[in-house]
Amino acid sequence: VGEPWARAPSSRAASCRQQQPPPPPHRRLSGREKREMQREILALLGLPGRPRPRARPASPSRPGAGAARQQPPSAAPLFMLDLYRAAASQDDEGEREGELGGPWSLAWARGLPRSSAADGADTVMSFVNLVELDRDLFHPKPYWKEFRFDLTPIPAEEAVTAAEFRIYKMQSFSWHGNQTLHISIHEIVQEHRNRESELLFLDLQDFQAQAEGWLVFDISAASNHWLLNRRYNLGLRLYVETEDGQSIDPGLAGFLGRHGPRSKQPFVVTFFRASPSQSRTPR
Amino acid sequence: AARQLRKRQHQKTKHPSHANRLPGSFDDGRVPEGRQVCRRHELYVSFQDLGWLDWVIAPQGYSAFYCEGECAFPLDSCMNATNHAILQSLVHLMKPEAAPKACCAPTKLSATSVLYYDSNNNVILKKHRNMVVKTCGCH
């Protein structure tokens, strides 16, 4: 193993090495060998080449790293890093106890909402919100907020087991704290010029106006529609109503969108099972 | 035999990280001709050294373990080998064309996860089952 790949040995590894016979002399990997290994790692990840994120996003694990020093990490990477840590610690626990639950069951145990469909997932993918439209107080009722996510990066052969829309709600000071709000999420099925869009109801949840935190909506049905008919991804629409059916501007109810703090911006998470890996040429 | 057993137990506690190592005369990790016995080896891959930290979020690198070495079964030091591999070695010795030589291969694997950005700034967490070699043995 050549120098570019070598690392300083940990104390545990070092103590193990003291008891082993001296390793064979290392040799430096040639540029061609390094490129081969890079290709192999990318093949394991199922990637045709190394991804090149457009704006060099801030890394949640390495705050202040590189060019993204000014930008704090956004909500989706933070959530995904929490899932990663849960999965990693569950891998360790499974090895110790000799049993394996769902890949993310520890994450659910830590307070993240549980979805039975997500338990068998091998891959989790988060999507940033691309487009946001508002029908606010300056428009006639009903008020709503629209979001659009591009799920085309999901390979066609993957089976989505669950999808969630996550949005942060601040405390609403415009309404009585103990008032219950009905929040519903709909898939936009078809848009019309002269009349209201056709919607498909997806999920409904009730919250106190003073509640603050992440709200999670099940949008599995919409994600499956979008994957089957990729041209018809028209997004999601969120409505907020009081108990007596009065429409409320989602912004006034405390819902944060693209213009909120980066760590509280809405995103979509999809869980899916990995397709059987393609055979690779052994090295 | 009792003395040999005690010796083996002592060596087992002395080398806890290599329980799959063949005991007896191969405890130094090499067969008499200087060849290595079946054992787990480590290759550390650093995403930082690859210049990939702009898209790989976690981990910063990983230990890629692989099994390498020769499988040999002297009659007095085969306690860790499977009977099948011993028998295969004997058949291979007598009729090389009838059975291949027993080979060093993973006997226990565990999962690993990678968290990374794609080109659209979406974040992907991918769990690969049966990826990390935990122990090696003769097959």
Taking a contact as any Cβ pair under 8 Å apart, which residues of chain A between 142 and 171 contact chain B?
A: 150, 153
How high is the ipTM of this complex? 0.75
CB–CB of A125 and B123 under 8 A?
yes
Nearest CB among A76, A103, A128 relative to B127 is that of A103
Which of A237-246, B64-73, B91-100 shows the lowest mean pLDDT across its residues? B64-73
B-chain CB neighbours of A95 within 8 Å are 110, 134
pLDDT of residue B36: 81
Check CB contact of B124 with chain A, cutoff 8 Å.
yes
Q: Give Cα A22 distance to the centre of its chain.
A: 45
H/E stretch holding A225 reads: helix A220-228
B123·A55 Cβ contact <8 A: no
Whether the CB-CB separation of A233 and A131 falls below 8 Å is answered with: no
B119 → chain A, closest CA residue: A53
Q: What's the rounded Cα separation, in Å, for the pair A232 and B73?
A: 64
| Mean pLDDT split into 10-residue runs, chain A, 283 residues | 38 37 55 83 86 70 47 83 83 54 40 52 87 78 90 76 92 76 92 84 91 91 85 88 90 88 91 64 50
Q: Is A53 within 8 Å of B117 when comparing Cβ atoms?
A: yes
User: How far apart are the two ends of chain B, measured CA to CA in Å?
Assistant: 27
Please tell me if residue B108 touches chain A, with a CB cutoff of 8 Å. no
Run of H or E residues at B13 = helix B2-14
Residue-wise pLDDT tens digits, B2-61: 334 344 444 443 343 433 433 322 334 445 566 688 899 988 888 888 888 889 999 988
Using the Cβ of B111 and the Cβ atoms of chain A, whether some distance falls under 8 Å is answered with yes
Sign for the CA dihedral angle at A91, A93, A98, A101 comes to: negative
Name the residue of chain A whose CA is nearest to B130's CA: A91
The DSSP H or E segment spanning A34 is: helix A31-44
Contact criterion met (CB < 8 Å) for A150 and B120: yes
- What rounded mean pLDDT belongs to chain B? 74
A57 touches chain B (CB under 8 A): yes
Subunit contact B113:A51, Cβ cutoff 8 A = no
Smallest CA-to-CA distance from B126 within A118, A46, A166, A268 is with A46
Two structure tokens written together for B79: 């306690």
